[in-house]
Structure 1
Amino acid sequence: MVDLSKYKSHPDKQLLVHAANVTAGIKRRTSSKIAELSAVFHDIGKMNPNFQKKLLNEKTNGYANHAYLSAYAFLSFCAANMSSVLKELNGDQSAIRVITAIVAHHHGDLPNMEKILSRDEMLRLKSFLEKEIEFPIQDFLNKYMENVNGIHVFGKTNENFMKIGLCPKEIKKPLELFQDTQFSFASLISADKEDASGYNSQSAIDEFCERYSLDLINYLNSLSGDSEINRIRTKIRKEAINNIYPLLIQGKRIFSLTSPTGSGKTLMLLSLAGEIIKNKGNMRIIYALPFLSITEQVEKECNKIFGESMSVARIDSKSENKLFAKYQDQLDEKPEVINEIINTQFAEDIFDYPFIITTFVKVFETFLSNKNSTLLKLPNFANAIFLVDEIQSLPPRLYGFFIALLDSFCAQHNSFAIISTATMPNFELPTNNNHNLKEFFQSYSAPPELVSFSNFQEDIFDRYDIIRIQQTLNVEELSELIKKENSSSLVILNTIDDTKLLYNQFSGTKSHTKVLLLNTHFTPNDRTEKIRLCKEMLENNEKVILISTQLIEAGVDIDFPVVYRDMAPLPNVVQSSGRCNRNGKLPLKGRVVLISLNRNDVMRAALIYRGIDELFLKYSLEKVVGKITETSCFELQKSFFDLIQYHTVFATHRSEVFKTVGNEMGEIDFIQKMKEGAFNDIGKFKLIDEVKFGEEFRYFIPRNNEDYSFERLEELYSQLIKIPLRDFVAKRLKLIEVENHIRKMSGQIAQVRIRKNDIYPIPDEDSCFGIYKLSKSYSFENGIDLSNENQIV
């Protein structure tokens, strides 16, 4: 009898124990046979004596890649037990390739199924297999399986293994296999890391859900219900709640909530999540929004409702971990809190909180990702309620694709989703497509609507008129129009350059009117302060002019009597209009002035919305003419989204990252790539095309002369590089400290995309963790200066 207890998976853990714990972790996450077999085999290669020596810090030059050896052991098992393996996998031979890929790459990222193994690595493994003696793989497998036939790992190399990376197989159910592979891989790596780190989930989902409805009802009852707008909001919310119940009984999982701007969609979404919990059981809630500014806004609202507890976590690139600072302060006196610090970070990585507020990037990129670090959170997307607001902010050609993808995920993993916006796209599957979409998304139907479109015709939501100025205007002409306004004005332009040029038209004037500039060349703290100043002045009836890019057009709760908007696709125009007379308090209607800004005889909008986006701009140019009421916008939007569905290619996307020889347009067909199992190709997708919009630089702007946050970051860097490579725990702790310190700095970090022709501002010193300190070339009034004036001649 072989003593298997002598084999270790980690220095302090037996391989048998680790494999059992990971397998149990897999079974808590999924019933997938792909995941289960991956769990059994993923670390079996650690029985290699060379790997065991590495664990003991003994020198060895022998082959020690345990992942490839584990994958080879799996294929050897398949060769000896093919009929029983195929029976477990419902006869799907492509699943064997998938498991091989998951096992071989569980410390990396999912590869394309076309070539899942490195030839050089396979040759090194082959050389090792032909020389080494057997070790007890079959004895190990007998602990997990019955009737395992003899497995021969050493000696003559299994030719199937050498070929599997080169011979693509036809995938019978590509969407199902893609999502099963992703989820199985994600479940394996999260269960693996969970056991290796000793992580124990503290996510009190049941406790949070038990008090969820009561907290929400108490908050709703505290709101004033005597205004006309609040009475309408309550009516719409109750309508949505009444309509979702029978749909849940019918087995529907994904719903559409199309409601006017200012109708209280946040509270509607939260109330609908409560109904799902009441009818379907306790679940995690994931509230996804397109912009960081809105995640902060929703977090404040949720903290008012549920209190500032650890149950509600905002997870994005700026959010600070609430527990980290507490544990960091205790570290010197209580070294045992090291594990708490690591676990706190891991909880964020895997989204292990009852209620999460996050960004579209965190959610939608995960659904297409092949990345190890990104997919860690995917298992916690199961048994969850997605509240997706401002869905129109996604790329138009991906509207329906992402919703169909989300629908499929929800059906497989007991999740639900509510898709919300004032400008709802058409989610029907188009028929004029290169693929048979009904065959690909076999069980998909468009999300049912929860509220009546007649709400858009309520008098309270007829708050503004859109007035189109037909002739083009240059910046000087636009500034003269704005100066003549007696009321406060919000001006939304398409580019940062245009906002700066217009702002300069007001510089040096003798007017007492406050003029503020807002774009991403300001720190988040300064952007927040500018919006606060505007709100304060508007409430005090003081005239203010805010000149902004479109960062203010979705979700920002601000209310101007007059809005100027440069020409844009209809959803952008409508979203911008939502900042006009938002609360319906004006005695007369608000006014949205739609202009066409011109510079050097070129319409500025045509430079931004070109190529595949030209069609969207053309619709506005042709349809938005004369004067249009808010209530008439709904039908215009409906026909716009029908146009998109008919004229755009479903589930395709263009980006610089997809450009290759033969694909100079950089276009990817996601459905075709899923049919090919091209995980690595699909995983390159980013919601923000960093190459197209310029290289991103991060500049830290000190609050004052006493702000030494950057110097502290440099100090942390010095401490990090002094930690020995083998001191993994200390290094991880320091990296967590660095990450949280950068998040604390984030309110003063301006993230700027600099194009080839821009002048780089001169930083104070070299970058630290990719961040530059900038004391000059920045002001609260103008933001970061990218002109020649910031250079020293």
Structure 2
Amino acid sequence: MEYIAHIKDDDASDGVNRIEETVTEHSEKVAKLAEKYGQPLRIPHIVCIGAMLHDVGKLNKDFSEYIRGSSRYERGDIDHSYAGARYLEEYTAGTNGYVRYTAQLIARIIISHHGLHDWWTDKCKNYYKSRCSKQERYKEINDNIKQFISDNELNNILIDATNEYSKIDEKIQQICNSEKNTISLVTKAFYFGMLERLAESCLIDADRTATAEFMEGIEITEPSEDEIQRNWLDMKQRLDNKLSKFSGSDSLISKLRMHISDRCCAFAKNDVGISQLIVPTGGGKTLSALRFAIEYAVEHKVEHKKERIFYISPFMSILEQNGDVIREIVGDDNYLEHHSDMYCKIVGDKSKSKEKVAEELEDYELRCQHWDKPLIATTMLQFMDTLFSSRTETIRRMHRFTNSVIIIDEVQSIPVKCVYIFNLAMNFLANFMGCTIVLCTATQPTLEQCKYPIMLDKESSMTGDYKQDFVDFARTKITPLLDNKGGYSYGEAAAVCMDKYRENGNILFVVNTKDAAAKVYSEVSNLNKEESFQAKLIHLSTNMCPAHRRNAIEDIRDMLNKGQPVICITTQLIEAGVDISFKCVIRSHAGMENVAQAAGRCNRNGEKVCGDVYIIELKEENVSSLGELTEARQQSINTIIDVMSKKSDDYLSVDAMNYYYNHFYSECTDKKGKDILKYQLDNPEDDILNLLSLNSIFRNSNEFCRDGQAFKTAGDNFRMIDNNTIDIIVPYNEEASGIIDELNGKTTISQALELQRKAQQYTVSVYDYTFKKLAENDALNEIKVRQDEKVYIYALKKEFYNNATGLSTEGKPQEAMFV
């Protein structure tokens, strides 16, 4: 009897034909793909066995009847994921050592091919054992497996798989043996967990790709090695042409940028694992990093050959700023920009027909699933989710990092809670997945000196001794205004701002909170009205929707380019990577990395000999809810004191930043004294590092265990950015108001989803207390988007959106933006 894996309707002219795909056919396709994905990772036989056995739970009459629609069973009623695992568990019973470890690894990825699990649960239950003990339909399934794959065939592949596993195990032991015992145990268990996630990624992607090919006729073709190499050479030529336009410039800054770029290009001749590109703000690090990546791919054709390049940015504003430049260099066909705003860009292209837009959107979504373009630019959130989230669509992409160059821009923006798991994951990518990682920043955090350190190359600096670069690019002077006892009120700070504006003609004032931005903006606005020559005053914060913020930043650029007087009051969203230059900057007291990034928005292109940057304490600014910022502020004070004690005023020197980060990381604990860098959870006894390694709380043991991780709990709790917020669509412009009106009308579920995706650029996220305040003030329209379910979205009433400062809880009349 043939057992069915999938079935589809084929609409033919003479009626509807039903096409069936057998379990054998599907499994062979999946095995072929999985083996291909696993080959460069040196685990082809491990994932091949997982692919061959992942669906053997469908080798029974009940499932075939269910899939044909002729049974009482519904989706999810029949557990088909346990059977292959149980079969392997029984097949290798009585063995030990590497054979047993290998079989159990494969069994776990079979069980999890539709979603991650905790192998030990919070009830101290061995979930793996319970799944492998299931009985339902197993006798029938077991009888059919012999016809599906012979013992001899399985044994031969298992021998090769065991050899693969043993080599990885030896490498893990070798890497970890030099560490302290407790740290070594955690690191080993973490790496074994990453190995499992990687194998799972190969299986999930192969399964979904083969299924889509059968069900929807979607066939994914990937370039040959020759095509990949030609792509790199073409990119190199385009980049060289672009750089040749700068190389002849008489500008000192252009010459300094080319000197950095040339050193990066030369560094590509080395074998690189994890390196650092430490470049002063305005030093052209993005193009330099891209030049290194392309040159590295060209240079290393045999060993360490590269299949793709990833450009990872912490902020969409940086992606949007750099996207067109990267696209120009690599070419449209070789480039994928993966972030939430791309949907709006595609559907908002009025120059194309609806059919063309739909076609482009379908292709874009397919590419985002596969990450198969030569160069992929995406956010830090997408990157970290791929490594740690429990969602299968993110796990699926992990193996795509294989043999890639990964450029991580503004690496200092990694949340402190993620530091340890980030470090260990980068070590795994470099040592086990053939990745070359470039950590880019002007303020390099001392990740290599943490308790769980990142494993930098022995010669890790891409530009050699970079201290002189900071001297050459020094364009600002930092002046702490922290001696005003108790700090400055908002009114006093506004007065300082206006004084510095009069001296310079434009000024940027960066604060830590949205509330402070609104209050300072109001105070400065009042003072500005009294000026005989008023400045153009602009506010920026996440109380403004993304479209609003983008337009405001473009307005600022335009005014600065025209030499018009402008004052910008903003939260830190403008700091990292936004190519904008003011003559003077004021920064509310924060960490030294924030001061450095704010300084990077001052005199960026050397418009004057030296730009002034002031650090100011706002006594009314409440930062208690901003987590580690309190410790960062304390360590920045300590750093300033240390620099002063050395009779220096270079607060952003390489030595000063090393002092700051070393002390910050060592002192970063929560209220209960727990190490924040482990990613602490609400349960004070647990953290994500522990869940992804020893899982000692759930297992009730601190002994080493390579297969006890709580992947689901860790993945469900992992948030790169805390998102306990509620999204509200705001009536920023006519298009936004039109979307709200359409959602209020009658829509199908698919229409409502499309409108919600269009509304992303007009959405503001608020915390619960702000949402309650809006609700109390009758500021929200509640829209029920699914009549059969209690699924609501919220839209802001027009009088509660201010075209200068964005969302307001008070519902004031509209104010004109000073532009």
Query: Quick check: TM above 0.5?
Result: yes
Which of 693, 710, 718 is the matching residue for 1:685? 718
Q: Percent identity?
A: 21
Shift of 1:65: 5.3
Q: What residue number does 1:726 align with?
A: none
Moved more, 34-43 or 267-276: 34-43
Superposition pairs of residues 577-588 of structure 1, within 5 angstroms: 577-586=599-608, 588=609
Residue 243 of structure 1 deviates from its aligned partner by 2.8
Equivalent residues in 2 for 1:134-149 (5 A)? 135-142=143-150, 145=153
Structure 1 residues 402 and 64 mapped into 2: Cα distance closer, same or farther (>3 Å)? closer
| 1:666–1:498 Cα change, 3 Å | farther
1:541 matched residue in structure 2: 563
Classify the secondary structure of the residue corresponding to 1:466.
strand
SS of residue in 1 equivalent to 2:747:
helix
> CA separation of 1:122/1:671 partners in 2, compared to 1, >3 Å: closer, same or farther?
closer
2:461 to 449, 460, 474: 449
- The equivalent of 1:108 in structure 2 is 115
The question of 1:391 aligning with 2:399 is answered no
Deviation at 1:406, TM superposition (A): 1.2
Aligned counterpart in structure 2 of residue 719 of structure 1, from 742, 748, 754? 748
Q: Residue in 2 aligned with 1:222?
A: 245
Compared CA separation, residues 100 and 122, structure 1 to 2 (3 A): closer
Corresponding residue of 1:192: 207
Cα deviation, 1:174-208, whole Å, max 9, x if unaligned, reads 23321211011111111111001113335557253
Q: CA deviation at 1:62?
A: 9.8
Contact 2:560 2:582 (C-alpha < 8 Å) held by counterparts: yes
CA separation in 1, counterparts of 2:343 and 2:80? 41
Instruction: State how 1:688-767 maps to structure 2 within 5 Å.
Output: 688-691=721-724, 695-704=725-734, 708-712=738-742, 718-720=747-749, 734=750, 742-755=756-769, 759-760=773-774, 762-766=779-783
Q: 1:519 Cα deviation (Å)? A: 0.2
Equivalent residues in 2 for 1:173-572, closer than 5 Å = 173-198=188-213, 199-202=218-221, 204=223, 206=228, 208-223=231-246, 225-245=249-269, 247-248=270-271, 252-280=272-300, 281-307=305-331, 309-320=332-343, 344-396=364-416, 398-399=418-419, 401-430=421-450, 433=451, 448-451=460-463, 452-471=465-484, 472-485=487-500, 486=502, 487=504, 488-508=506-526, 509-511=529-531, 512-572=534-594
1:126 aligns with 2:147: no
2:702 aligned residue: none
Aligned equivalents of 2:477, 2:511: Cα separation in 1: 19
Residue of structure 2 in register with 1:620 after alignment: 636
Contact 1:427 1:447 in 2 (8 A): no
One-letter identity of the residue aligned with 2:382: K
One-letter amino acid of the structure 2 residue matched with residue 783 of structure 1: G
* Matching residue's letter, 1:72: A
| Contact 2:7 2:21 survives alignment (8 Å) | yes
TM-score, normalising length: structure 2: 0.79
- The DSSP-based 3-state class of the residue aligned with 2:445 is coil
Structure 2 CA distance for partners of 1:652 and 1:371, relative to 1, 3 Å: farther
Match of 2:89 in 1: 78
Q: Is the 8 A contact 2:267 2:462 kept in 1?
A: yes
Does the CA contact (< 8 Å) of 1:48 and 1:135 recur in 2?
A: no
Q: Which residue of 2 aligns with 1:49?
A: 61
Aligned partners of 2:599 and 2:416: how far apart in 1? 20
Change (3 A) 1:144 1:57: farther
Distance in structure 2 (CA, Å) of the matches to 1:463 and 1:482? 17
- Residue type at the aligned position of 1:347: R
Alignment partners' CA distance in 2, 1:313 and 1:343: 11
What do residues 202-259 of structure 1 show as CA deviations (whole Å, max 9, x unaligned)? 55572532411011111112336220000000011112222342x31xxx32211001
The offset of 1:478, in angstroms, is: 0.6
CA distance in 1, matches of 2:361, 2:470: 53
Letter in 2 for 1:677: Q
Give the 3-state SS of the residue equivalent to 1:420 in structure 2.
strand
What secondary structure is seen at the aligned counterpart in 2 of 1:288?
strand
Instruction: Establish whether residue 39 from structure 1 lines up as the match of residue 51 from structure 2.
Output: yes
Residue pair 1:319, 1:743 contacting (<8 A) in 2 also: no
Question: Residue in 2 aligned with 1:772?
Answer: 794
User: Aligned partners of 2:156 and 2:678: how far apart in 1?
Assistant: 48
Instruction: Call closer, same or farther: CA 1:93–1:643 in 2, change over 3 Å.
Output: farther
Preserved CA contact (<8 Å) 2:282 2:605: yes
2:585 match: secondary structure? strand
**Comparing 544-553 with 364-373, which one deviates more in the overlay?**
364-373
8 Å Cα contact 2:4/2:63 also seen in 1: no
Shift of 1:20: 0.6
- The number of aligned residues is 718
**Residue 20 (str. 1) matches residue 28 (str. 2):** yes
CA distance in 2: counterparts of 1:63 and 1:538, whole angstroms: 59
Cα 1:743–1:295 shift into 2, 3 Å: farther
Q: Tell me the CA shift for residue 71 of structure 1.
A: 2.5
Is contact 1:767-1:773 (8 Å) kept?
no
Deviation at 1:446, TM superposition (A): 6.6
User: Which residue identity is paired with 1:416?
Assistant: T
User: What's the CA shift for 1:137?
Assistant: 1.2
**Alpha-carbon separation, structure 1, partners of 2:56 and 2:380:** 37
How far has the Cα of 1:522 moved from its partner? 0.7
On the 8 A contact 2:202/2:396 being kept in 1, the answer is yes
Give CA deviations for 1:42-86 in whole Å, capped at 9, x if unaligned.
1011111111001111023599755x4452343234324446x76
Distance, in Å, in 1 between the alignment partners of 2:556 and 2:510 is 15
**Could you tell me which residue of structure 2 aligns to residue 153 of structure 1?**
none
Change (3 A) 1:376 1:62: closer
Kept after mapping to 1: 8 A contact 2:592/2:657: yes
The farther-off stretch of 24-33 and 171-180 is 171-180
Distance 1:705 1:179 in 2: 44
CA positional deviation for 1:108: 2.1
Q: CA deviation at 1:479?
A: 0.8
Cα pair 1:652 1:668 within 8 Å, conserved: no
Distance 2:322 2:84 in 1: 50
Offset, 1:18: 0.8
Which range moved further: 275-284 or 108-117? 108-117
Correspondence for 1:93: 100
1:323–1:447 distance in 2 versus 1, CA, 3 Å = farther
TM-score by length of 1: 0.81
User: Deviation at 1:713?
Assistant: 5.3
Amino acid across the alignment from 1:520: T
Shift in alpha-carbon separation, 1:47–1:670, aligned structure 2, 3 A: closer
Q: Assess if the C-alpha contact under 8 Å between 1:778 and 1:785 holds in 2.
A: yes
CA distances 1:131-164 after superposition (whole Å, capped 9, x unpaired): x686411110129825699xxxxxxxxxxxxxxx
- Corresponding letter in the other structure for 1:46: K
* Structure 2: runs of 5 or more not aligned: 9-19, 158-184, 696-704, 786-790, 815-819
Residue identity opposite 1:28 in structure 2: K
